């Protein structure tokens, strides 16, 4: 089965490679403007949009002249990560002062990191299965003074990351502890992802067996 990662995140790419998968990358152009009252719904919806934006390019309806017979099945993976503090969703900072404010809010407190993941299985130009889920990890950041925060922000590391920090980078020294999946904080809950991918594949196998029995 061919795997497509619908994300340009280098961290998600590294994690999927670390898990031993061979895959291609097709960056999603999905609309990420969405109103959501809670972080779990937000990351699930955004991951679904990202995965479908890529999946639709491989569907029969988008390519009516293409012969899909015998084509290798596809699995498209979309993901989105946000940080939440006391119910407030923190995305990626728009500028350095925004990153400073986010880190000042997070310092000395426990926050949550949510990653939503969506899977689309495609065979011969048709969607034959989907799954969407999220994983939440609690992260406790030690107290930080303004000098520490501004020095970190000047490195540029926070600017493309939800919550304005990278746990796998220079901000590792800010983290007192976590409860849950570390890789979820990095950007992809790889353990849950593998389980869901295997489950989706087994669902398809079970349906094929049932259809085979019905034809007998």
Q: What gap in Å lies between CA 55 and CA 71, rounded to an integer?
A: 15
Would you name the residues annotated as active-site residues?
80
Query: Among the residues of 33-111, which ranges form H helices?
Result: 39-55, 96-106
What does the alpha-carbon distance between residue 102 and residue 140 come to, in Å, rounded to a whole number?
Answer: 14
């Amino acid at each position: 089965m061919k795997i497509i990662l619908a994300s340009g995140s280098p961290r998600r790419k590294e994690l999927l490679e670390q898990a031993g998968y061979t895959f291609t990358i097709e960056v999603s152009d999905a609309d990420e403007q969405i109103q959501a009252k809670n972080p779990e719904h937000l990351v699930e919806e955004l991951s679904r949009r990202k995965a479908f934006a890529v999946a639709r390019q491989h569907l029969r309806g988008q390519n009516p002249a293409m012969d899909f017979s015998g084509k290798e099945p596809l699995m498209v993976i979309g993901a989105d990560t946000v940080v939440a503090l006391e119910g407030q969703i923190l995305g990626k900072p728009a500028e350095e002062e925004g990153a400073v404010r986010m880190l000042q809010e997070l310092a000395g407190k426990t926050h949550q990191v949510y990653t939503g993941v969506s899977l689309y299985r495609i065979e011969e130009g048709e969607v034959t299965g989907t799954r969407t889920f999220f994983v939440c990890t609690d992260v406790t950041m030690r107290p930080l003074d303004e000098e520490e925060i501004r020095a970190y922000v000047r490195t540029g590391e926070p600017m493309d990351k939800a919550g304005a920090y990278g746990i796998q980078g220079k901000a590792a020294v800010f983290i007192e502890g976590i409860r849950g999946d570390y890789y979820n904080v990095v950007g992809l809950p790889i353990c849950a992802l593998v389980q869901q991918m295997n489950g989706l594949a087994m669902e398809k196998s079970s349906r094929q067996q049932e259809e085979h029995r019905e034809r007998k």
